[in-house]
Amino acid sequence: MSRSAEARDSVETPERRRSRFGDWSATATHHTPAEDAQAILTGVLLAALGLSILAHLEFLTGGVAGLALIVSYVFGINVGLAFFLINIPFYALAIGRMGRAFTIKTFIAIALLSLVS
């Protein structure tokens, strides 16, 4: 097989990708600001409900939420404040890896979750 034929066969075309993954693609989906706001508010309310149930029962979970619960149990501070403070270093990582728009939306979601929990 020639070198150009190998290169042509190794190139992933949209048709090849579609047959392997259905209609799914890894590109970002653009939403309207209203859709973003609705998604953020829904996620914040559901996460706050779960976090408040865990805090009330004195249970733990993994990740930043679990670490915030541990900090709140040990030091007696508000879970929301601990959650917000623990997330601060991740904003720098998010700007570099995910971009400014994602980081702003994440900051809004974390700030709202911190306020309601």
- pLDDT for the residue numbered 33: 87
12 belongs to a structural domain: no
Quote the crossing angle between the two packed helices 79-98 and 63-75, to the nearest 10°.
Answer: 150
What was the pLDDT predicted at 117?
85
Note the pTM of the prediction, 2 decimals.
Answer: 0.71
Residues of the chain under the 70 pLDDT cut? 1-29
Q: What is the pLDDT of residue 30?
A: 78
Residue 15 inside a domain? The answer is no
- Which pLDDT does position 107 carry in this prediction? 95
Task: Indicate whether 111 belongs to any domain.
Answer: yes
pLDDT on residue 3: 57
How high is the pLDDT of residue 87?
96
Collect all residues with Cβ–Cβ distance below 8 Å to 82 and sequence separation of at least 6: 67, 68, 69, 71, 72, 75
In a domain, 50, yes or no: yes
Q: Judge whether 44 and 117 are in contact, CB under 8 Å.
A: no
The total of structural domains in the chain comes to 1
Residue 82 placed within a domain: yes
